[in-house]
Amino acid sequence: MPKTVSFLVDGFNMYHSLNELQGVSKASVKWLDLMALCKAYLPSVRSNIGEPVDLAKVHYFSARPDFLSAHKPDTLLRYDTYITALRRCPTPRRRTGPPRAPSSSAGPARRCAPREHEQDGSPLFHPFRIYPLHRIVQACDLHIAPSTSLHRERLRSFLNEVVERRLRPLEQIGEIAESANAAVDLAIIIEPICWPTVTARWVYRGPIDEHEHHERLKTYWHSVRELVAGLDPDHWRAVHEELRMQAAILDENDTLYLLLRLAPWAQRERLRGRISGALWIRHIAEVLRRAFEEVHQVEWPEEDQSFGQWLSGARVAIYGSERPLDRPMASIPYLAFEFGLYTGSIVRWYVEGETEYGAISEVLSQVLGSAAIGGIELVNLKGSPEKKRLSDALEQDLALRRFSVISIDTDQADALRTIRQQVRQNKVVGFVAASTPDFEFASFSLAELVEIAAQREEQAGFSGDVIRNGDWTGVTSSKKFQGRYEQLSLGGSRVKGTGWGAALGRYAAANPTRADGGRRPLLKSIEMALRCRVVPYDLHRARYRIDPETFELVEGADSA
């Protein structure tokens, strides 16, 4: 019994090929007899497989160019006439675009919209048809590794073995194509309704306003609802799962897909290659899912989910929601964090005064270029923090899921009391950098502070030895250090403010350990703030709290 052969004709590419040929030959070739063309290929097929073959079916893929009805009705008439001629052939199967919303649709249809070279009525190819074409090519894959060609002595026998054992039957490939086309047929019918949700944009066609467009879509949606209501949701859930699996086989970067899916459509449609193909297949799946979920009141997995299972609560921890595509605004900050795409400050660091501000800014600028580039926002409290102002700022941090870091000197009783109250109220998610007795003397020895001050004196054009050789007896705090320095300085400078802080920061960066061998608290605090940029906020909040007395981080969830 002879084998059967089916042909699949891409109407869009065929039209343009014929149009190009017609321009060269000056002969009319657009009224091509597809049956005769495909039959003409049968001897070649017979020769290649060495067996008798018969023509089974000819599938012609196209979409009616309705947009030409107003300004090129004659072209539309010729298209309809050609399709009618194909219908009268006994064997070919014609597949055209699905019923459309009266005003046409958004999204993929925009890709099919008439560009300059399509105004003549060329058949249009719906992008969703990429899926059956992908499945056909996939079914034809022989799964032969390129390195096979290195074994030249047995390559021919190996290829003969592949032909005998690995070639899928043409009937099976045809079934795969039929199944994929059935899924796409329904997706294209649903697309005008669900595509705006996928792309966050609307496209209006023809001389109609927005109101009329939406009225027509309502009427169309009523028909689509009736269609979807009559379909088996279990069967179509399996179709949806197959689409998700096929997309993952093409590109398994599921988190990247979520990032792309939540990106503007203008960025997505520029994609190329396997990532683009997988994205389109997942979009097809999402169109189906949204229609079935609304009509049948079911819940299917979102399109980033393919192989494997998620632990309970894991998606909330990573994406901010079990269903990030249904709650995009809640998920975007999480995805931005996952990819290091800071949409604002990740850490807000409250410092007590100008000196701390200058020192931290200086070190961060050496590490990151600037604090802002690294997602760290510095807030200068300019002395003792005002309770209401700090409380409001910390509440804002909680709402934005932003780490809070507070630098405080333990010799400031009022400020210390305010900070402890905020910590007890669980308003600080991050850490408190408490310096004893104060910022300068916690991170630098007296000798180091004297040397830094002497170098600043020299930079101002005065002798630094006056500072180095001065009497520093009894100086144990920054306040006393400032008083003694002002007595000794020939230039009348002050060891206070952002300039003094920057000098401290430069010295600390160049000399990270103190004379006693310990790590400077200034640098330890900066390291912790930098670590906050890569630590999951919700995980930290659930696992750690700050001891209000010692300001140490201890394990145990807050009680908020």
Task: Work out the average pLDDT over 27-31.
Answer: 72
* Strand pairing category for 430-435 and 403-409: parallel
Q: Over the stretch 483-510, which tens digit does the pLDDT of each residue have?
A: 999 999 887 777 888 999 999 999 999 9
Poorest-pLDDT segment among 68-82, 86-100, 203-217, 491-505: 86-100
Question: Domain residues of the chain, as ranges?
Answer: 342-560
Q: What average pLDDT is seen over the chain? A: 83
Q: Over the stretch 354-401, which tens digit does the pLDDT of each residue have?
A: 999 999 999 988 876 655 556 788 888 876 667 788 888 999 999 888
pLDDT for residue 435: 93
28 and 82 in contact (C-beta within 8 Å)?
A: no
Selection from 24-28, 155-159, 286-290 with the highest mean pLDDT: 286-290
Interatomic CA distance for residues 522 and 230, integer angstroms = 68
When pLDDT is cut at 50, 70 and 90, the band that residue 11 belongs to is: confident
Distances (CA, A) of 415 to 189, 393, 410: 65, 15, 8
When pLDDT is cut at 50, 70 and 90, the band that residue 278 belongs to is: very high
Give the three-class secondary structure for 291: helix
Give the three-class secondary structure for 211: helix
pLDDT for residue 158: 82
* Predicted confidence (pLDDT) at residue 95 exceeds the cutoff of 60: no
When pLDDT is cut at 50, 70 and 90, the band that residue 37 belongs to is: confident
* Predicted confidence (pLDDT) at residue 452 exceeds the cutoff of 90: yes
pLDDT for residue 141: 82
Task: Work out the average pLDDT over 546-553.
Answer: 93
* Predicted confidence (pLDDT) at residue 174 exceeds the cutoff of 80: yes
Task: Work out the average pLDDT over 309-330.
Answer: 83
Q: Which residue has the higher pLDDT, 50 or 406?
A: 406
Q: Which residue has the higher pLDDT, 557 or 241?
A: 241
Please spell the DSSP secondary structure of 65-131, one letter per residue. -GGGTTT-HHHHHHHHHHHHHHHHSSS-EEE-PPP--TT--STHHHHTS--GGGTTT-----GGGHH
pLDDT for residue 369: 64
Q: Which residue has the higher pLDDT, 149 or 227?
A: 227
Percent of the chain's residues with pLDDT above 90: 35
Q: Which residue has the higher pLDDT, 309 or 482?
A: 482
Tokens of 174: 């045809």
* Predicted confidence (pLDDT) at residue 59 exceeds the cutoff of 50: yes
Distances (CA, A) of 9 to 64, 93, 112, 186, 328: 15, 10, 18, 20, 40
Q: Over the stretch 102-116, which tens digit does the pLDDT of each residue have?
A: 333 333 333 333 333
> In this structure, what DSSP letter does residue 513 have?
B
* Strand pairing category for 376-380 and 347-351: parallel
When pLDDT is cut at 50, 70 and 90, the band that residue 93 belongs to is: very low
When pLDDT is cut at 50, 70 and 90, the band that residue 525 belongs to is: very high
pLDDT for residue 335: 81
pLDDT for residue 516: 81
> In this structure, what DSSP letter does residue 481 have?
H
Burial class (CB in 10 A: 0-12, 13-18, 19+), 25: exposed
When pLDDT is cut at 50, 70 and 90, the band that residue 348 belongs to is: very high
Task: Work out the average pLDDT over 63-83.
Answer: 73
Interatomic CA distance for residues 252 and 278, integer angstroms = 9
> Terminal CA-to-CA distance of the chain, rounded, Å?
77
Residues 6+ apart with CB under 8 A from 244: 282, 285, 301, 303, 305, 306
pLDDT for residue 384: 61
- Phi-psi label, residue 383: left if phi above 0, alpha if psi -120 to 50, beta otherwise: left
Residue 6 neighbours by CB distance under 10 Å? 18
Q: Over the stretch 119-173, which tens digit does the pLDDT of each residue have?
A: 444 455 788 988 999 999 888 887 788 887 787 788 888 888 877 777 888 888 8
Poorest-pLDDT segment among 108-112, 316-320, 429-433: 108-112
* Predicted confidence (pLDDT) at residue 225 exceeds the cutoff of 70: yes
When pLDDT is cut at 50, 70 and 90, the band that residue 69 belongs to is: low
pLDDT for residue 27: 66
Rounded to two decimals, the pTM is 0.54
Interatomic CA distance for residues 243 and 54, integer angstroms = 32
